[in-house]
Structure 1
Amino acid sequence: MKHFEEKTTNTQSIFNGKVIDVQVDDVLLPNGKNSKREIVKHPGAVAIIPITQDNKIIFVKQYRKPLEKTLIEIPAGKLEEGESPDITVLRELEEETGYTTNQLQYITSFYTSPGFANEIIYLYETNSLEKVLEPKPLDEDEFVELMELSIGEAEKLIATQEIHDAKTMYAILYLKNKGMR
């Protein structure tokens, strides 16, 4: 819908970091007025729902500094420059869980916070896990604990907000709608 489009008249880079860049755009609004938009640029990410042979989901428990608390999430990670999501998801699965797969199913993608960021997450699923003898190590600043949970156990953790991020809650809802118990 072109009548909602905002035309950028100027962009000012504010910060360039390891994970995100921040810019402020001057925009011309559809009504002819000017405004500013603070924008977080992110290279994108992947997430995976790894399902074990006994129908449990592998989660990672990790501390999230922006929230100052620990969350339980599905494995996920940032796309590296020039890397396709299909490659990134296998790397993240191995680094975070010690497993790999040759049966990867792409589910969907979604924007995480379109009001201020361009981050997109590509979501995958696998129920064919193979243990890696010598898995790739976690990033040096990454510390996780693995958990295997049923859908019911995961739902209880949503109620206590131990699972409290959108990608993981989406994944659980997706599995429930597929009939997983």
Structure 2
Amino acid sequence: MDLSEKMVSSETIFEGKIIKVTLDQARLPNGTLAAREVVYHPGGVAVLALDKDNTVYLVKQYRYPIQQLLLELPAGKLDHGAEEDRLLGAQRELSEETGLEAAEWTYLGYSLASPGFCDEALHMYLARGLTRKRQHLDEDEFLDVVTMPFDELVRQVMDGTITDGKTVSTTLKVKVLLGL
């Protein structure tokens, strides 16, 4: 059975600095029409920076949509959407947020945060061979760099202390990949 839905019409209802929202009419597999609200996002990157002592570098920042401080991996949107090289985006975000640079980069794949309404793909990286440079945050970015042993990060992911999706996904991929 063909389960695909075909766009019949699309209307942009919002276009901001980061996202675009459309209201689409889609033809369903049974031939009827349904409204689909779609959020288009340029995509992003997340970096698990792991030093030789298995210490991980995280950022603590306030997340306005949920009105909470979160502990997360360094991450950010791709500034030029799909046209931006994902690795360059990951290197930029790690440097900006933590002041770290890495000699070794491993691509871990990507995850889709909420494909029921949003097309955002989040590309995950493991960064090793770290050297400290200078942190250079965006003008509207306020965060603290936090370090912890990788095992503690895994514990906090598993007990629900850390709930950020990109941090959970990337941490568990690294745990399986490295067998730590």
Normalised by the length of structure 2, the TM-score is 0.92
Please give the per-residue CA displacement for 1:33-82, whole angstroms capped at 9, x wherever unaligned: 01010000000000111002211111111111111101111110000113
Q: Residue 124 of structure 2 aligns with which residue?
A: 123
Aligned partners of 1:161, 1:100: CA distance in 2, in Å? 29
Answer yes or no: is the 8 Å Cα contact 1:75–1:93 preserved in 2: yes
Counting matched residue pairs gives: 177
Identity of aligned residues (%): 38
Q: Residue 62 of structure 1 aligns with which residue?
A: 61
Q: Residue 163 of structure 2 aligns with which residue?
A: 164
Unaligned runs of 5+ in 2: none
| Structure 1 ranges of 4+ moved more than 2 A | 155-162
Farther off after superposition, 48-57 or 150-159: 150-159
Q: How does 1:23-172 map to 2 (within 5 A)?
A: 23-81=22-80, 82-132=83-133, 134-135=134-135, 137-158=136-157, 161-172=160-171
Aligned partners of 1:161, 1:140: CA distance in 2, in Å? 31
* Higher percent of residues as strand: 2
Answer yes or no: is the 8 Å Cα contact 2:103–2:128 preserved in 1: no
Q: Does 1:179 align with 2:143?
A: no
SS of 1:123's partner is strand
Please give the per-residue CA displacement for 1:1-59, whole angstroms capped at 9, x wherever unaligned: 7x111111110101111111111110111101010100000000001110022111111
